[in-house]
Amino acid sequence: AQSVAQPEDQVNVAEGNPLTVKCTYSVSGNPYLFWYVQYPNRGLQFLLKYITGDNLVKGSYGFEAEFNKSQTSFHLKKPSALVSDSALYFCAVRDGIDNFNKFYFGSGTKLNVKP
């Protein structure tokens, strides 16, 4: 079965410092991995995805994610955090074999960036 784990409920970082939001996955077949961001009272917005190719994926708003097959991880990173990055972040994996319509989400990580 496909699943995603986000081990941290909350991540606190000072503005200007690098940030990492962790995600590990379990999937049959090739992993199709995604990161989404949710601002208060809004729907989720797509940040970036990994399908194949380079292990470092660049996305919106200066975010990037590192795919590590051996550790089954897909951590979200940003070199220099902004206060405006404070939001709820979700990792997701798409079913790779049985049903390409099914996406599985982690429980979310709240990112707090302090001035």
Partner 1 sequence: NAGVTQTPKFQVLKTGQSMTLQCAQDMNHNSMYWYRQDPGMGLRLIYYSASEGTTDKGEVPNGYNVSRLNKREFSLRLESAAPSQTSVYFCASSEVRGPYNSPLHFGNGTRLTVT
Task: Report yes or no: 50 and 61 within 8 Å, Cβ to Cβ.
Answer: no
Interaction between residue 100 and partner 1 (CB under 8 A): yes
Whichever of 28 and 80 has its CB closer to partner 1, that residue is: 28
Residue 15 CB, nearest approach to partner 1 (Å)? 26
Whichever of 58 and 102 has its CB closer to partner 1, that residue is: 102
Beta-carbon count within 10 A of 78 CB: 21
What part of residues 2-41 is at the interface with partner 1 (CB under 8 A)? Answer: 6, 9, 30, 32, 34, 36, 41
Interaction between residue 70 and partner 1 (CB under 8 A): no
Please name the residue that has the structure tokens 């790779």.
96
Whichever of 80 and 107 has its CB closer to partner 1, that residue is: 107
Q: Is 83 helix (H, G, I), strand (E, B) or coil?
A: helix
Contacts with partner 1: how many residues (CB under 8 A)?
Answer: 27
Task: Count CA atoms within 13 Å of residue 74 on its CB side.
Answer: 28
Interaction between residue 114 and partner 1 (CB under 8 A): no
Instruction: Sort 105 into a burial class: Cβ within 10 Å, 0-12 / 13-18 / 19+.
Output: middle
How many residues can be counted in the chain?
A: 115
Interacting residues toward partner 1 by CB under 8 A? 6, 9, 30, 32, 34, 36, 41-46, 49, 51, 90, 92, 94, 96, 100-108
